[in-house]
Structure 1
Amino acid sequence: MDVQRAVEIFNSKDTHKVNLEGESVWIEHVDQQNGMATVQVGSRPTNTMTVNVDRLKEGE
């Protein structure tokens, strides 16, 4: 995924499926300047990771 698409998903009112290495995640923040995104993994709000947006895949 590219940074612009990650920002679009983050700002969207609709729900989009996003995966990180096969695991479902929610985008919580996008750092456009550095190409990084903070994501929540699974259903626990405290389970977050900051990853390069190119590791994120949009699901169908």
Structure 2
Amino acid sequence: MDTVRAKQILDSQNTYDVKLEGSSVWIENVDVENGTATVSVGNNTQTVPVEKLQEG
């Protein structure tokens, strides 16, 4: 995924299936300048490169 798509998903009112290494995650924030996203996985929050996120 790229930062533009991650930001679109974050700003959308729809729900999208986004995965990080096979686990579903919720995008909390996208840092376009640094190419990272803060995601929630269960009770854990982490910042990862958006390239690691996959849609679908």
One fold, TM greater than 0.5?
A: yes
- Segments of 5+ residues of structure 2 without an aligned counterpart are none
Structure 1: which 5+ residue stretches go unaligned?
none
Higher strand share: 2
Q: Give the Å deviation of 1:34.
A: 0.3
- Take 1:2 and 1:37, find their aligned partners in 2: how far apart are those partners? 10
Flag as ranges the 4+ runs of structure 1 deviating above 4 A: none
2:47 to 42, 46, 50: 50
Structure 2 CA distance, aligned partners of 1:19 and 1:49?
13
Between the two proteins, the alignment pairs up a number of residues equal to: 56
Equivalent residue number for residue 20 of structure 1: 20
Deviation at 1:24, TM superposition (A): 0.3
Deviations 1:4-55 (A, max 9, x none): 000000000000000000000000000000000000003x3xx101000000
| TM-score scaled by length of structure 2 | 0.97
How many percent of aligned residue pairs carry the same amino acid? Answer: 59
Please state if 1:30 is matched with 2:30.
yes
Aligned mates of 1:3, 1:30 — CA distance in 2: 7
